[in-house]
Amino acid sequence: MATQTDLELEISSLALVDTHEHLLPEDQWAGDNAKLIAEKKQDGESGWGDANPDILQDLFLNYVPSDLRVAGATNEAIRRLFDPATGDLEARFSGIREAWEATQFTGYGEAVRLIAREVYGLDSLTPDGLESAQRKLDELRQPGERLRLLSEVAGLDHVQIDDFRWACTPDESGPDFFLYDLSWEGFANAVVNVDDIRRETGIEVSTLEDLRGALAAIFERYAPYAIAVKAQHAYRRTLRWEERTDDQAARALAVVLAGGEVDEATRLVLGDWCWAQGVELAVEHNLPFKLHTGHHAGTGQMPIDWVRAGNLCTLLARYPEARFVLMHTAYPYSDELVSIAKHYPNVWVDLCWAWSIDPYSSADFVRRFLHAVPSNKLFAFGGDTMWPTSAVAYSIQARRGLLRALEAEIAAGDLSEQQAIAVARRLMRDNQYACFDIDGTRAAIRAQLQPAGVA
């Protein structure tokens, strides 16, 4: 075995902050698959079976289905891959085997191979190997294993989870480890569910002032326990933001509350107003505001001009006191994002998911970023996935990619090894602790869990 360099040892051993996940909760990992099945059925998909996630789901139910589809796998073959009711493991895998052969070397495919090897000890996907891995998965789907996989196997300091909800309640399976974002995606898309808002805040929304009060009430209740605010509305609208007056927003809200069809212009007016309210409340409550930029998951539905980080410049200039975390390197507009990060002091950039989308472009992005932008403005990792096993694989990709980038800088004579180690520490942990109030959030969560009357 080759001797590791000091840089390799540092990157492989340092606890890595994970700034972005969509992890299902403990009872979905160690319990049944009801939530996932319900979400798939809501999306119009069927036949996902009634069993707990099996090995094919654990290996492939992440981002790789989009590459399989691009490689030629049919929707039916992918549906059967994830439905235990349609056949045994080999029969279900055979339907996507040819597409898998073409996909296995993409970033998404590499992650599948890493899960197979690092979690299940499989060098290739064979019928006997899959059966053996299924038995191992049954052992892993136990209380506490989700935390162990993430903290001990992936070597994560903590994870920041977007579970698409306003509520940021303590996760008792690891209250210091599992921290949550306050979701703002719906409001930025002008989704105003009056029943949900009334249940959450007690406010009946019929006017813009009611809505303003409800948004503030959501922050008052959950911001102390949130690690950030998060919106991924670029899947449903442009990232371009315009300042809207109260009068404009009030008229748009009246249309939305009336029910029926809402045109895009009206939706953008109310969405921009709610988005700005969220930014102002995030500043008031000392929370960074995370924004999805760049590439869309899935296939066949990405209006590419929506996702450019450059669309955000008006917002960034309007709120210089806010802390904006722009995610996923705005791929494929990464050069544009470097320019934005260089220009706007209130911008941080997150490599979450980028290592799997395009590992080599991401390593190149790190090098270009370091030569253009102060190194305290970049975060190295977020897995952006549902399963802890996938997060293990994505963390390995991040460590490998960061090592590749920094070794290239050393080889070029632009960094010494000690300088590269210092940069690695910044990107993997120090920058995140400087941007997010991690210690304060943990303290608030502990206080909330403290029994009444106990000091």
Question: Cα–Cα distance between 70 and 300 in angstroms, integer?
Answer: 9
For residue 199, the Cα-to-chain-centroid distance in whole angstroms is 27
Q: Is the bond preceding 451 in cis, omega lying within 30 degrees of 0?
A: no
pLDDT per position as a tens digit, 7-64: 999 999 999 999 999 999 999 898 755 345 434 433 434 333 344 569 999 999 999 9
What's the pLDDT score for residue 450?
86
CA distances from residue 74 to 205, 272, 301, 377 in whole angstroms, order as listed: 45, 38, 17, 41
* Cβ atoms within 10 Å, residue 163: 17
Residue 307's SS3 state is helix
The half-sphere exposure of 178 on its side-chain side, counting CA atoms within 13 A, is: 22
Amino acid 121 reads G
Residue 453 backbone zone (phi > 0: left; psi -120 to 50: alpha; other: beta): left
What's the pLDDT score for residue 42?
38
Write down the H helix ranges in 4-45: 6-13, 26-29, 34-42
The half-sphere exposure of 264 on its side-chain side, counting CA atoms within 13 A, is: 3
pLDDT per position as a tens digit, 219-244: 999 999 999 999 999 999 999 999 99
The residue ranges of the chain whose pLDDT is under 70 are: 1, 32-53, 452-455
Question: Cα–Cα distance between 166 and 215 in angstroms, integer?
Answer: 10
Residue 451 backbone zone (phi > 0: left; psi -120 to 50: alpha; other: beta): beta
Taking the chain, what is the end-to-end CA distance rounded to the nearest angstrom?
Answer: 52
CB of 155 within 8 A of CB of 142? no
Question: Cα–Cα distance between 285 and 342 in angstroms, integer?
Answer: 26
- Full-model pTM: 0.94
What's the pLDDT score for residue 44?
39
What's the pLDDT score for residue 33?
52
What's the pLDDT score for residue 30?
87
Partners of 76 in the beta sheet? Answer: none
pLDDT per position as a tens digit, 101-145: 999 999 999 999 999 999 999 999 999 999 999 999 999 999 999
Torsion 439-440-441-443 (CA) sign: positive
Question: Cα–Cα distance between 408 and 129 in angstroms, integer?
Answer: 37
What's the pLDDT score for residue 454?
56
Q: Give which of 163, 176, 135 is closest to 25, Cα–Cα.
A: 163
CB of 184 within 8 A of CB of 214? no
